[in-house]
Structure 1
Amino acid sequence: MSEAYHIPVLLKESIDGMSIKPNGVYVDVTFGGGGHSKEILSRLGEHGKLYAFDQDHDAQQNLINDSRFTLIQANFRFIKRFLKLEGVKEVDAILGDFGVSSHQFDEGERGFSIRFDAELDMRMDQQTGISASELINTYSEEQLSQLLWQYGEIKMSRKLAKAIVEERSVKPIQSTSELNALLTPFFPPTKVNKFLAQVYQAIRIEVNQEMEALKEFLLQTPDLIKKGGRLSLISYHSLEDRLVKRFIRDGKFSGAPEKDFYGNMLVPFKKTGKLITPAQTEMRQNNRSRSAKLRIGEKL
């Protein structure tokens, strides 16, 4: 694995949280640079097995040559279906490191970053779905405003949506530089990059249906993980973390947890320990780990 591709965040903590048994079956649903997967394999015996998911074709360059390892090129929202094709019905633990890899941010032509002039793409799987450019040029003003508010937590979302719609009526917005130039005047000069990053986050989440995919994935985990097995999940923004926290606590994303006749909560997982965040040394070494939050659940 190239360290430049993606430095694994909370590596020891997240793998420790999986409570790995040498001959168990494990899943890394966000393979990326392979850092977490390599650490899992280092703890497995000869009969252990690791399945990894990644929808980004670039992840193939980090393929691990190990008979105990299988890379499945698919979105983790289809975890049950693809594991079934591999003959797997139950696993001992699942790891997820959500968000965007360093590689995706650093590959300028992918359009994930405000730093490079590139076509607005932002698709994690470049062979499916609509690109960021298509989204920006086709969504209604109301839809744009809603996603900037919901996924970017931008208070002036209506103003930005209006500006986008007015601009594209003259000429389509197709590159990062065009979008940056249009929106920069709306932000305080000292905070332009911060606000643009929030805009890009909102568009990226919508393009890749990240919240829907995360929900679909989480809802499948109780059927896949054995009793006493673990969920070890790393989130990077409050929207993801909120879903993970609620699901581990309540087994659902809204409303009160289900209860039995006697008032006992019917939840599939219990949280193990407290929320884990990176140490100061890790944050100094890897700036992108700053917002990481690790939550671990154990199957009841």
Structure 2
Amino acid sequence: MGGHTSAILDSLGSQGHLTSIDKDSYSEEIAIKLSLEDKRMRFISGSFGNLEDYFEKNSLDGVLLDLGISSNQLDDPDRGFSFKNSGPLDMRMDQTSSLSAEFWINNASKEEIEKVFKEIAEERQSRKITRLICSKRVESPIKTTKDLVNIVLSSRSGTSKIHTLRNIFRAIRMKVNCELEELSGVLKAAGTVLKVGGRLLVISFHSLEDRTTKRFIQGKDGAGTETIFKLIGGKPLKPDQLEIDNNPRSRSAILRIAEKVI
């Protein structure tokens, strides 16, 4: 929605430059308006996983990665991101991509679906939910968010239903958009394009995202790169209660900051 971009521009010197990257067409419309108002900014329509395609080695002072999805995406029923809205089972960040949540849920193997629900959703009933999905899709394709919600709800009882729905929907979205793979790629790329002394900032909303970021900063990700980072500020930053009250969707956000040493 341009919030981070506007805030950075407000603090950026007259000789500074800011490049924003997003693959969502709605974000592109917002970014073009901002770039017309401020010539220090440019926008690239694409994936931030391709960071090295856009910048030279050791050329940037800072890289900010916001791994969340916007309220606009969540609240638009046609995008299919939220279990609270009835709409097509889409979930594509990039609307030109051929892999939608509907296609994946109806065509992925039982083993793949169960693995996503177990490892990304961290769902204890992953096997049961997967079995129900595979049974239902034989009878008729799972096409809408409501179809999926009804299947998941039929597998659970008690107060854990909303928690399970949230985790299942998020896991499918992360799978369809290859979010964890893209995060690993962009972290490695950030180490290449940042100058020594440059800062890397990552805002994550999921334990796997934060774990991936933490291990990269610590040099324990197994990527085998020569780049070394040091953590800035000790513990990661989390929203305080006032921010959560003003923006409930920030409650799971974690910000880690690191500086490139080598």
Query: TM-score over 0.5 for the alignment?
Result: yes
Contact 1:249 1:267 in 2 (8 A): no
Aligned match of 2:6: 38
Asked if 1:123 is matched to 2:92, the reply is yes
Aligned partner (choices 138, 144, 151) of residue 169 of structure 1: 138
Runs of 4 or more consecutive aligned structure 1 residues displaced over 3 Å after TM superposition: none
Report how far residue 162 of structure 1 moved.
Answer: 1.0
1:65-103 CA-partner distances (Å, limit 9, x unpaired):
21100010111000110235xxx8610000111121111
Query: How many percent identity over aligned positions?
Result: 38
The normalised TM-score by structure 1 is: 0.82
Residues matched between the structures, number: 256
Aligned match of 1:69: 41
- Unmatched segments (≥5 aa) in structure 1: 1-32, 259-265
Tell me the distance in 2 between the aligned counterparts of 1:169 and 1:198. 24
Asked if 1:226 is matched to 2:186, the reply is no
Contact 1:121 1:132 in 2 (8 A): yes
Aligned partner (choices 69, 76, 82) of residue 100 of structure 1: 69
1:227-248 CA-partner distances (Å, limit 9, x unpaired):
1110011111100000100111
Q: CA RMSD in A?
A: 1.6
Please identify, of 172-181 and 39-48, the stretch whose mean Cα deviation from structure 2 is larger. Answer: 39-48
Aligned match of 1:26: none
1:203-214 to 2 correspondences below 5 Å: 203-214=172-183
Aligned partner (choices 267, 281, 290) of residue 251 of structure 2: 290
Aligned partner (choices 144, 148, 164) of residue 113 of structure 2: 144
Aligned partner (choices 198, 214, 228) of residue 268 of structure 1: 228
Contact 1:113 1:200 in 2 (8 A): yes
- Paired AA for residue 246 in structure 2: Q
Aligned match of 2:27: 59
Tell me the distance in 1 between the aligned counterparts of 2:58 and 2:231. 23
SS at match of 2:257: strand
Tell me the distance in 1 between the aligned counterparts of 2:215 and 2:248. 27
- Paired AA for residue 135 in structure 2: E
Tell me the distance in 1 between the aligned counterparts of 2:222 and 2:182. 17
- Unmatched segments (≥5 aa) in structure 2: none
Asked if 1:134 is matched to 2:103, the reply is yes
Report how far residue 159 of structure 1 moved.
Answer: 1.1
- Paired AA for residue 158 in structure 2: P
Report how far residue 123 of structure 1 moved.
Answer: 0.4
